[in-house]
Amino acid sequence: MSEENLIHKLTENPEDVPVPVVNFSRWVNLITLLISIIFQRPLITTLLLLLVIPSLLLGKKWNIIGRTGKALLLKRNNKPLQFEDRRLIRFNNIILITLLTIAQIFFVFKLNIIAWSAVVLVIIANGLALAGFCVGCVIYYKFKIYKYKIIGKD
């Protein structure tokens, strides 16, 4: 197994998320948040947060970005697909939602430097993931190892 597979946990399981869809979501997050910073528009971060929350709370049927990516990318792609473990995607979405929620709270209190810092963390994480290093995946595996050492089971 290659090192990338260890970090991203690529699978052959069709229940997991196709890699092109994952990358599409990362690009959407990255571009959207870059636009919000360039134009100093916190509302754009709010809109992204509102697009992502339903998928976490209500399931993948409500993942508008993922469904759009699937419609655009998978219909014309006849290559065999690799998938990314859905547990990692869910964990990464929790981090995304947490950081964007923190940003929204600080925007409300006019603490823009802290708010934009949270947004920048998301941008960095998405950029690194697109470059092949998933920060959220590393945190997930570190958490699993720590949990195993403390509790003793998965």
pTM beyond 0.85? yes
Number of continuous H segments (helices) and E segments (strands) in the chain:
7, 3
What are the average pLDDT values for consecutive 10-residue runs of the chain, which has 154 residues? 51 82 96 98 98 91 90 74 90 96 98 98 97 93 89 72
CB 102 within 8 A of CB 121: no
How many other C-beta atoms can be found within 10 angstroms of the C-beta atom of residue 126?
A: 26
pLDDT for 2:
44
Instruction: Measure the CA–CA gap between 24 and 22, rounded to whole angstroms.
Output: 5
Strand partners, 18: 83
Strand partners, 17: 84
